[in-house]
């Protein structure tokens, strides 16, 4: 089955590196026109230069709602529509016992990981998706389905994002499908502290005996954005190599 996104326009947040970059590249390669966003324009332009197809950039802090609105508006101005929104940007400024987290880092985690996906979706809905339809993909985590004390605050936001995904799926259907992806441990800069020092030993705890690559998640995102997933709504797709087993 060939998955194509020809004629669709996608917007991917947190797309200058890691999973977001892989998703944007895969969607562009599948025929979509893609707007990529993250905080630093120079990194966005470097990422865009490595992708095939029509890719534009817009620098925005995902947690800044005015910048988020501007990015959505710029996508419509450049491409005339928006069919796929990927809420990928996330942060984890604290590692340690959840009971000891300070308020500023808690609020930052909630703002980027939970508040931002809601309002990016709201902006996309009111800007045009309400009329034309589309697909929203939220990047959750298997941490939202399990317990990992050292990143408990991050996982709480991902658990809430999974529930938010289901809530919005119910509200926005049938025009817009809202789904989530829950990756396992993927070899990204953000997760480097969890795997880099002893990758082989960590991989032995994964059923598939390897850690995830960004492309593993990108393939799932292309599927959920495509017409092949047209009857999938409110679902969280676990892509973890069997880690939860």
Catalytic residue list? 154
Please name the residues in contact with 24: beta carbons below 8 A apart, sequence gap of 6 or more.
10, 12, 15, 34, 36, 47, 51, 55, 86
Give me 126's structure tokens: 């009111």
Q: Which residues contact 185 (CB under 8 A, 6 or more apart)?
A: 191, 194, 195, 202, 206, 211, 212, 240, 243
Rounded distance, CA 113 to CA 153, Å?
A: 11
Give the CA angle between residues 114, 196, 26 to the nearest 5°.
55
């Amino acid at each position: 089955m060939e998955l194509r996104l020809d004629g669709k326009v996608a917007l991917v947040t947190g797309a200058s590196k890691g999973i977001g970059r892989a998703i944007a590249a895969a969607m562009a390669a599948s025929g979509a026109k893609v707007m990529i966003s993250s905080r630093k324009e120079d990194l966005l332009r470097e990422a865009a230069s490595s992708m095939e197809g029509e890719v534009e950039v817009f620098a925005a802090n995902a947690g800044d709602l005015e910048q988020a609105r501007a990015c959505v508006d710029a996508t419509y101005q450049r491409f005339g529509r928006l069919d796929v929104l990927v809420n990928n940007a996330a942060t984890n400024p604290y590692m340690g016992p959840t009971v000891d987290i300070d308020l500023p880092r808690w609020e930052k985690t909630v703002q980027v990981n939970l508040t931002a996906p809601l309002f990016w979706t709201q902006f996309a809905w009111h800007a045009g998706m309400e009329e034309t339809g589309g697909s929203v993909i939220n990047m959750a985590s298997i941490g939202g389905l399990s317990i990992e004390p050292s990143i408990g605050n991050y996982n709480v936001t991902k658990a809430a994002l999974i529930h938010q995904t289901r809530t919005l799926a119910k509200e926005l259907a049938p025009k817009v499908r809202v789904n989530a992806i829950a990756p396992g441990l993927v070899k990204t800069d953000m997760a480097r502290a969890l795997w880099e020092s002893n990758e082989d030993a960590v991989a032995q705890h994964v059923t598939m005996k390897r850690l995830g690559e960004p492309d593993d998640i990108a393939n799932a995102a292309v599927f959920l954005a495509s017409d092949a997933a047209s009857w999938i709504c409110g679902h969280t797709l676990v892509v973890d190599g069997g880690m939860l087993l």
